Amino acid sequence: MDYPRSTSQLETRFASEEACRAYLFSLRWPNGFQCPKCQSDEAWRATATLWTCRKCRHQASVIAGTIFEGTHQPLPVWFRAIWAVTTQKSGASALGLQRVLGISYKTAWTWLHKIRRAMIRPGRDRLQGTIEVDETYIGALEEEAHGREIGKKALVVVAAQADGKRIGRIRMRKIPDASGASLLPFVRDFVEPGSCVHTDGWAGYKDLTSAGYDHKVSIIGPKRKMATELLPRVHLVVSLLKRWLLGTHQGAVSYEHLDYYLDEFCFRFNRRTSRSRGMLFYRLLQQPVAVDAVPYKRIALGIKRPKPKG
């Protein structure tokens, strides 16, 4: 796989717009141009940025339909932003990105939300084996609130895959309530049928067996510490999540956008053993071409995420 190994390599290789576009072209169309409209592979280069399909005459740009669409900033700055997000262990905040790249806070905030939308790979595999599942409350700040005033509490369900005594992959989702109508779809979406799902005795999980899962139930006692002993992996993940939200983002995460912060946390956690941060840069640049372009107004209003392509 072709990716920079260091910041100096990044700066040298992707110093120009053309170099960035060529790299995105190789990631989006590794076997050569393919028309997004008719799937034809016959085309000519109309301009420095546009390709014209010989069959249907549709014109396409390498950044059209991606998170880069409509950008007014140079692609080398985008690449540096994605490098900053993937190479820093705890990620980047909008304020930190603003300082490093010299862009406005609004631009940094929008870019981070667009990048988060590209962190989840369409069609990713479901968890298998033994999976711990539990819920937790997250105190999310409303953007209209002052200081650290808490306006809403968000309920988040977390699944943590067992890898021996360690934690394997994880999945998270914000849910409206802890009913079976909210919990069962989460398990169905993220856990392979036939897996062992380990939960507490909450009634919202009672239909897991009939849904095709091996449901292991541990009754949590009156002492708080027993929950961490019976479901240790999921509770460690929850602890790390809350620490990350308070540390990197100072707890200033709105209820409407929480799902995308959860996506970022899962992206980082599931790749925590990667030996090369450049690999994360490569993976994250692969995925923006698989999700739709999202304008600022849609992000700011917290409108539901678009469905992934494919």
Question: Count of CB atoms within 10 A of residue 102's CB?
Answer: 9
> What's the CA gap between 96 and 10, in Å, rounded?
19
Query: What's the CATH number for 130-274?
Result: 3.30.420.10
Share of the chain above pLDDT 70, in %: 85
Dump pLDDT digits (tens) for 142-157: 444 443 333 468 899 9
Averaged pLDDT, 162-188: 94
Q: What is the mean pLDDT of the chain?
A: 84
Dump pLDDT digits (tens) for 36-54: 889 888 888 888 788 899 8
> What's the CA gap between 287 and 289, in Å, rounded?
5
Which stretches does DSSP call E strand in the chain?
Answer: 43-45, 50-53, 59-61, 130-140, 152-163, 166-175, 196-199, 214-217
Residues 6+ away with beta carbon under 8 Å from 183:
133, 135, 157, 175, 204, 205
> What's the CA gap between 244 and 80, in Å, rounded?
22
Reported confidence tier of residue 308, pLDDT bands at 50, 70, 90: very low
What is the helix, strand, coil percentage profile of the chain, to 5?
A: 40, 15, 45
Q: Which residue has the tokens 């007014």?
A: 72
Dump pLDDT digits (tens) for 73-114: 999 999 999 999 888 877 888 888 999 999 999 999 889 988
Reported confidence tier of residue 123, pLDDT bands at 50, 70, 90: confident
Question: Count of CB atoms within 10 A of residue 211's CB?
Answer: 16
Domain spans of the chain, in order of start: 7-119+288-300, 130-274
Q: Is the pTM of this model over 0.85?
A: no
Q: What is the DSSP string of 107-132?
A: HHHHHHHHHHHTSSPTTPPPB-SEEE
Spatial CA neighbour of 174 closest among 261, 244, 292: 261
Residue 235 clears pLDDT 90, i.e. is over it: yes
Averaged pLDDT, 185-207: 95
Query: b or e along 141-176 (b: 16 or more beta carbons within 10 Å of the residue's beta carbon)?
Result: beeeeeeeeeeeebebbbbbbbeeeebbbbbbbbbe
> Which is higher by pLDDT, 14 or 49?
14
Question: Count of CB atoms within 10 A of residue 188's CB?
Answer: 15
Residue 37 carries which side chain, given as an amino acid letter? K
